[in-house]
Amino acid sequence: MTPALTNADLSEDRTALILEWSDGARIVYPLRLLRAQCPCASCRTLRDQPSNDPFRVLPSQLLNPNSDLAGVEPVGRYGIRFRWGDGHDTGIYTYDYLRELADLPEVRKATASEERHAP
Ligand SMILES: [Zn+2]
């Protein structure tokens, strides 16, 4: 069973989201990474396009996504929805998905570095 989210907070420099879980895990997610991994259908489609097509025009949204966090709201008891600075808010990050993202090297690194700086 996926642990539940018990607390959410922004890092001091406001570049990462710190999530605490009912199993005691405390995981630091860089906002840029969360935005880049947006699970909504249109972002998924963009990510899944073959990258070897020379005629593909990369949408600026994907090249330089806005990773300012404008809002966070719970979705039932299973996920959260972020609203980004550019108004994009269609991705629902389920707890399952967030725990999957915790295994990414960038998240592990951010979590480890946050622990070092903790008082
Ligand atoms: Zn999206």
What's the confidence (pLDDT) of residue 24?
96
Question: Cα of 75 to ligand 1 centre, how many Å?
Answer: 16
What's the confidence (pLDDT) of residue 54?
63
Residue 56 lies in a domain: no
Question: Cα of 5 to ligand 1 centre, how many Å?
Answer: 21
Q: Is 47 helix (H, G, I), strand (E, B) or coil?
A: helix
Element containing residue 75 per DSSP (H, E): strand 69-75
Element containing residue 60 per DSSP (H, E): helix 60-63
Question: Cα of 85 to ligand 1 centre, how many Å?
Answer: 13
CA-CA distance, 29 to 66, in Å (whole number)? 15
**CATH code, domain carrying 92:** 3.30.2020.30
Contacts of 32 (CB under 8 A, 6+ apart): 15, 65, 67
Question: Cα of 89 to ligand 1 centre, how many Å?
Answer: 7
Residue 50 lies in a domain: no
Number of separate domains in the chain: 1
Q: Which domain holds residue 14?
A: 5-43+62-117
The end-to-end CA distance of the chain, in Å, is: 32
65-85 residue pLDDT tens:
788 899 999 999 999 999 999
What's the confidence (pLDDT) of residue 45?
87
Residue 52 lies in a domain: no
